[in-house]
Amino acid sequence: MAAHKDFLSIDRWSTEELRAVLELAKEQKPLARKHALPHTLPNRVLACVFAKPSLRTRVSFEVAMRQLGGETLFITDKEIGMGTRESVYDVAKVMSRFCDGIMIRWFDDDEVVQLAEHATVPVVNGLTDLTHPCQVMSDILTVEEHLGNIEGKTVCMVGDGNNLANSWLNAAMRFPFNFVLACPEGYLPDEGIVRRAEAAGASFMITHDPQEGIEGAHVIYSDAFYSMGQEEEAIKRRKDFAPFQITSDLLTGAHEDHIVMHCLPAHRGEEITDEVMDGPHSVVFDEAENRLHAQRAILSTLIK
Ligand code: CP
Ligand code: NVA
């Protein structure tokens, strides 16, 4: 059992605690698929707070909670006005009196950390501008289902040094795989996270050459060229990222048994071609399903 109240980023948990979540996810998955999971969280309510759109995060958390016998509430930033209508502190205190957990998708990671500090119930990061830890835990589950233990594998993300790249770097601090980011110049991951990954002895490399990055990689990972909130940069980014599109040609350099992943939503024809998304190496929908299984394991671990 994890000794933490919250799940805010992968590097805040130990390898053993993260491994326990993955093992629980693997155990629960076949039972969930048979609708045979015990209701271990009856009458518990998870508040799901969203300041950005979502398909996977919203639906997977709502379904996960119901599969455990609990309930969810959907609330937008416009309603709660955290940090504007009232302070983060007051929101944390009030929500803790009503709910048994809070899952939040927000812009500013610092505000989510503050919310967690002042809430007495678990807070789970459902994506911020800085990280997307639930996605990468689900992704490790997917890698291990297809390729066996992630140890010694090379995961190459081709694209932006964004919240997903940051979470993969955090994961490389806790799991013994190699992370490669192939990104255009000027689109590097968070400096603080890079420094912490270096200090922790994580195995990672950053290149501006997608061919070099992908060479021999077991996992080729894609995400949008512009994240939620960066829509006004779309035109510039499409140009800067054009050489970073994942195509069948690019994949010729990857390991012969590689898998292709994308956290979704995908802009088909932009960061990834249809041929690759729908091709024989793609596991993108297994990856989407695993959001449910990994996050249910996180909720099972945290909610009392
Ligand atoms: N991958 C992911 O987080 O999807 P949503 O934005 O649809 O939740
Ligand atoms: N980097 C993307 C991930 C979406 C799931 C974003 O933040 O919009």
Residue range 133-288, CATH number: 3.40.50.1370
Average pLDDT over residues 276-296: 98
Ligand 1 atom at minimal distance to the Cα of residue 59: 8
Residue 163 CB–ligand 2 contact under 6 Å: yes
C-alpha of residue 105 to centroid of ligand 1, in Å: 10
* Residue 248: C-alpha distances to residues 144, 260, 278 (Å): 23, 11, 11
Q: Which CATH superfamily is domain 10-131+291-302 in?
A: Aspartate/ornithine carbamoyltransferase (3.40.50.1370)
* CA nearest neighbour of 178 among 142, 212, 210, 219: 219
Query: What are 209-227's pLDDT values in tens digits?
Result: 999 999 999 999 999 999 9
Whether the CB-CB separation of 295 and 136 falls below 8 Å is answered with no
**Residue 155 pLDDT level (bands cut at 50, 70, 90):** very high
Q: Which residues line ligand 1 (CB under 6 A)?
A: 54-57, 127, 135, 263-265
Q: Is the dihedral of CA 162, 165, 169, 174 positive or negative?
A: positive
Q: Tell me the C-alpha distance between 10 and 124, whole Å.
A: 11
Q: What is the DSSP letter of 12?
A: G
Q: Where are the domains of the chain?
A: 10-131+291-302, 133-288
Query: What are 170-202's pLDDT values in tens digits?
Result: 999 999 999 999 999 999 999 999 999 999 999
Q: What percent of the chain has pLDDT over 70?
A: 99
Query: What are 53-79's pLDDT values in tens digits?
Result: 999 999 999 999 999 999 999 999 999
DSSP string, 100-162: SEEEEE-S-HHHHHHHHHH-SS-EEE---SS--HHHHHHHHHHHHHHHS--TT-EEEEES-SS
Q: Which of 60, 291, 292, 295 to mutate to test the pocket of ligand 1 (most atoms within 8 A of CB)?
A: 291
Question: Based on the number of CB atoms within 10 Å of its own CB, is 135 exposed (0-12), middle (13-18) or buried (19 or more)?
Answer: buried
Number of residues assigned to the chain: 304
Whether the CB-CB separation of 73 and 45 falls below 8 Å is answered with yes
Whether the CB-CB separation of 289 and 54 falls below 8 Å is answered with no
Residues catalogued as catalytic: 105, 132, 135, 223, 263, 291
Whether the CB-CB separation of 302 and 122 falls below 8 Å is answered with yes
Q: What average pLDDT does the structure give for the chain?
A: 98
Q: What is the pLDDT of residue 3?
A: 83
Position 2 pLDDT exceeds 90? no
Q: Do domains 10-131+291-302 and 133-288 have the same CATH topology?
A: yes
Position 113 pLDDT exceeds 60? yes
Q: Tell me the C-alpha distance between 299 and 171, whole Å.
A: 19
Average pLDDT over residues 238-259: 98
* CA nearest neighbour of 7 among 115, 160, 81: 115
